[in-house]
Chain A
């Protein structure tokens, strides 16, 4: 890292960069969550189902994020693993109102955790129990129970209930992820 970069970072002009992978089943709200963090001028007003994946950039106070917004549709889920190598953190979005498919989300999470690229790395995983505003949504505690998150022992994880449309709970989650990522990036 050059001297100039270090100086710029110290002054707060250039921020550290982090790649995060945003995954989850289709219709869980991944793109809407990313949309929330984008600055006002770049915001999308109508969210359509993502095809393949999209790369979005956004900044928080101390980090600059590059988010790989993956498509959650069944036929694109095999794409996820291609990005495991480059990512520093994972955001896993769960539709907490879709009780039927939580088991599918769990299956995909298990596959993610078993992948060798993920296993050998120390990456924080942030879970959003999204759509908490809906009537038949389950609580974040119940959600983590259904996903059997307590069995994840070698990764830092955090779950927070969210509502991507209003933005409730999103900042709290990203704050946790930022703290975790800073640790990871410093140690590198």
Chain B
């Protein structure tokens, strides 16, 4: 399908940052980020796209090389590919890199698009008991059912078994088991590991086309470093768990750092000369789906819909919540502009571009992107290769004069938060006080506690006294539940006092009550000093009034007490204390 046809069929709106170079929704590619790479494999300045296609997942695995939009070559791969990298393995001119395809326990090396070498990972020692069992089988001294039972027991104990034993355990039918055992019992038992991830590392020079080592992560919880010329294992680094993603920097002979994210959701860092991986690791709260590194920061896409960023020392810098689950992540390194960011492909058919923690661009696609690679393709510097879940291939080119807004408008603390407050310097007094407090902390606390107790005691005493003398405006006598509120109106010398009484009981009426006042008769003259109170119906508010004349013109005032009494009792039921306002002098006109 040509570019023109696909482009006209495209429904997405035009982006101001990306050019749609190619779109083939039916390229029938089944691949992932680890199996896509870009390299100048013919040393002609025209970079090719190399894709290891997983075919159907069972058959038809192919190594495909695209020149521009045309398929240039196809090589069949025997087993499922788990990673593709290109690397320079010699110093021959022209400088053509080799392609390494990881598949099962093997690394297939292609040079000039032809199979060149097959490297097999070192074998793992077979469990002695398991080997013994198969040997007995060979000598026909063992029944297949016994063998099965024994192997099952070993598996239940957590012993890692060989592929042959595992396959044997899968068989259900007795005849099949016998046939299987007959077929394989004479071949020696071998145990091989499987490659999980693949990377490259420069050996001793930092140049673009310097010789590189292959870094291989395996199912046997090991990372191997392969010498590119002799294909020998230069270093073996054990890990506590199976690695799934690798990020490698540095040079093998100088200093390097391998960051591996593992199946237990931890990220381990391996350095030159360190063997202790347990010490420095990052524990994620979710499984990683992608690991990338920009400079000294590690970006991890997690299954809990977050993009997390760590320093190389393992300190978490930030976490960004993304709107959908992440399928893969990839670094966008646009060298001509010195722009580095992280592309995050999401399951809602979008690819988000994060510059640090800020979302700077969104690419919409018509299918979920499962594989991405950004880099030089053909003669174009900023090409983004995307493969989709439906098998499509999309190529976009970053516009030459693109500008990304480095910060988005939403999010982040307000600017005012960063303004420094003008805090005055500490005075000598403050310092002395602080010193004193520090030295005498215990004594001060004790004094404070003693005073607090005294205060509480006093409060309790006063309360008891008030209860005793019914000095409070709400009755404490359960037989006469009353509420008193008194107020004084006027500016003087004559005031009006209103006493409000309310029976707060639910059903019981109050009878035989009277109101009287306690005052200084040199200062005040009450018109009524005795008010008989009628029966108080529960809930209603009764108001009683009297006039008070202030006798002094010297501007003094006093407290006046209101007593509510019951006939035949000498202790008041309730008491209200009213502080009288200062009287205005009588103006005689």
Contacts and interface: CB of A to CB of B under 8 A. Distances in A.
Interface stretch (B376-384, B469-477, B506-514): B376-384
Contacts of A74: 336, 381, 400
A100 B395 contact: yes
B19 A104 contact: yes
Given A74-B336, A142-B4, A146-B4, A99 B379 contact: no
Interface residues of B, number: 24
Given A26-B379, A27-B379, A74-B336, A100 B19 contact: no
Interface in B354-398: 377-381, 383, 395, 397
Contacts of A78: 401
Contacts of B400: 74, 77, 104, 107-108
A100 B336 contact: no
Interface string B40-80: 00000100000000000000000000001110000000000
B3 interface: yes
Interface in A79-112: 97-104, 107-108
A97 B397 CA distance: 17
B20 A103 contact: yes
A175 interface: no
B336 A104 contact: no
Contacts of A102: 3
A104 B70 contact: no
A145 B4 contact: yes
Given A103-B21, A103-B397, A136 B68 contact: yes
A75 interface: yes
Interface string B1-20: 01110010000000000011
B32 interface: no
B399 interface: yes
B22 interface: yes
Interface centre among B377, B380, B395, B399 (most CB of A within 10 A): B380
A103 B19 contact: yes
Nearest to B67: A136
B22 A100 contact: yes
Given A74-B400, A107-B399, A136-B68, A100 B377 contact: yes
A101 B4 contact: no
A170 to B, nearest CB: 23
Interface string A37-53: 00000000000000000
B20 A98 contact: no
Interface string B489-523: 00000000000000000000000000000000000
A75 B400 CA distance: 9
Contact of B379 (A101, A107, A108, A146): A101
Contacts of B381: 74
A27 B380 CA distance: 11
Contacts of A77: 400
Nearest to B68: A100
Contacts of B7: 103
Given A74-B336, A136-B68, A100 B380 contact: yes
Contacts of A97: 68
Contact of A98 (B45, B378, B383, B401): B378
Interface centre among B20, B70, B377, B400 (most CB of A within 10 A): B400
A77 B399 CA distance: 12
Contacts of B3: 99-100, 102-103, 146
A163 B20 CA distance: 27
A73 to B, nearest CB: 9
A101 B20 CA distance: 10
Given A77-B400, A136-B68, A136-B70, A101 B380 contact: yes
Contacts of B380: 100-101, 104
Interface string B124-156: 000000000000000000000000000000000
Contacts of A99: 2-3, 22, 68-70
Contact of A75 (B336, B379, B395): B336
Contacts of A104: 19, 21, 380, 397, 400
A166 to B, nearest CB: 21
A149 to B, nearest CB: 13
A126 to B, nearest CB: 22
Nearest to B49: A100
A44 B19 CA distance: 35
A53 to B, nearest CB: 17
B3 to A, nearest CB: 6
Contacts of A145: 4
A102 B70 CA distance: 14
Contacts of A107: 19, 399-400
Contacts of A26: 379
Interface centre among B68, B69, B379 (most CB of A within 10 A): B379
A97 B3 CA distance: 12
Contacts of B69: 99-100
Contacts of B377: 100
Interface in A16-64: 25-27
A75 B334 CA distance: 13
A98 B45 CA distance: 13
A133 B69 CA distance: 18
Contacts of B378: 98, 100-101
Contacts of B379: 25-27, 98, 101
A97 B400 CA distance: 21
A28 to B, nearest CB: 10
Contacts of B401: 78
A108 B4 CA distance: 18
Given A75-B336, A136-B68, A100 B4 contact: no
Contacts of B70: 99, 136
Contacts of A100: 3, 21-22, 68-69, 377-378, 380, 383, 395, 397
A87 to B, nearest CB: 21
B566 to A, nearest CB: 102
A98 B22 CA distance: 12
Nearest to A74: B400
A156 to B, nearest CB: 24
Interface centre among A78, A98, A103, A145 (most CB of B within 10 A): A103
A21 to B, nearest CB: 18
A10 B22 CA distance: 53
Interface string A158-185: 0000000000000000000000000000
B27 to A, nearest CB: 14
Contacts of B20: 103
Nearest to B397: A104
A27 B378 CA distance: 11
Given A74-B336, A74-B400, A77-B400, A98 B19 contact: no
7 contacts: A27-B45, A27-B379, A98-B378, A100-B69, A100-B378, A101-B378, A101-B380
Given A74-B336, A98-B379, A107-B400, 13 more contacts: A25-B379, A74-B400, A97-B68, A98-B378, A100-B22, A100-B68, A100-B377, A100-B395, A101-B21, A103-B20, A104-B397, A142-B2, A145-B4
